[in-house]
Amino acid sequence: MTVEAGTLPAEGVRAMFDRIAPVYDAMNRVMTAGLDGRWRRETASAVVRPGDRVLDSCCGTGDLAVACARAGGTVTGLDFSERMLERARRKSGQIDWVQGDALALPFEDDSFDAATVGFGVRNLEDLDCGLAELARVLRPGGRLGVLEITRPQGFLQPFYNVWFGTVVPVLGKLLPGGSAYTYLPASVKRFPGPEDLARFLREAGFSEVRYRLFAGGIVALHIGVAG
């Protein structure tokens, strides 16, 4: 499949993550110079309180779910890629790993005290629906943390363009599932910037929405409160 436009139907996204699952964690470390671990810990500590029931939606290979468990949550990790979940299951036997669709979450209303999504919302076929589902399964007052790649403004922009536009796709071509790493920069380009994502969260019913930027604005963490 040729993946250039940054948009894929859900089945294409799932198949792509199945293909890149074996190299996903290594690529994350390389692409973020190892910083992703800190961003995940910051996300977990921003929304998880000890004893919380936590959903990590689009959990992939599980690193953010594990960070939420370390922050004291009782965690459910959900993803539709079985190959990504296989990797996640090896990381923790304490977390409930569920195969499912983030656009039709298999949970009752008000099931969780906190929810996180790491580098996941950008891949959703219907962002409004994904955010509405998170609002539905969070109890009123429950906290959401969305960690996502964004486009930096200012002096980092040229560096970012070379890194994501050239280096990442070339690195990806050397690896199985290589076209995914052409999809990645294209999907970032079409995704709303931090101000717009904050607006989408408000429109989905979240209040107290705010965000902070990491790594000079390459990554954003949005926080909101349900209900």
CB of 215 to ligand SAM, least distance (A): 15
CB of 40 to ligand SAM, least distance (A): 7
Residues 48 and 70 sit within 8 Å (Cβ to Cβ): no
Applying CB under 6 A, the residues found at the interface with ligand SAM are: 10, 13-14, 17, 58-60, 63-64, 79-81, 84, 101-103, 118-120, 123-124
State both tokens at 223: 């926080």
The identity of residue 156, as a single letter, is L
Burial class (CB in 10 A: 0-12, 13-18, 19+), 210: exposed
CB of 84 to ligand SAM, least distance (A): 4
Output DSSP code: residue 163. Answer: I
Cα separation, 42 vs 45, in Å, equals 5
Cα separation, 91 vs 11, in Å, equals 26
Nearer to ligand SAM, 30 or 208 (CB): 30
3-state secondary structure of 53: strand
CB of 90 to ligand SAM, least distance (A): 15
Cα separation, 20 vs 219, in Å, equals 21
Nearer to ligand SAM, 54 or 124 (CB): 124
Nearer to ligand SAM, 79 or 113 (CB): 79
CB of 154 to ligand SAM, least distance (A): 25
Cα dist from 132 to 104, 109, 165, 173, 202, whole Å: 10, 11, 32, 35, 11
Residue nearest to ligand SAM (CB): 60
Cα separation, 57 vs 75, in Å, equals 10
CA 132 to chain centre: 16
CB of 155 to ligand SAM, least distance (A): 27
Nearer to ligand SAM, 103 or 213 (CB): 103
Nearer to ligand SAM, 25 or 140 (CB): 25
Nearer to ligand SAM, 80 or 107 (CB): 80
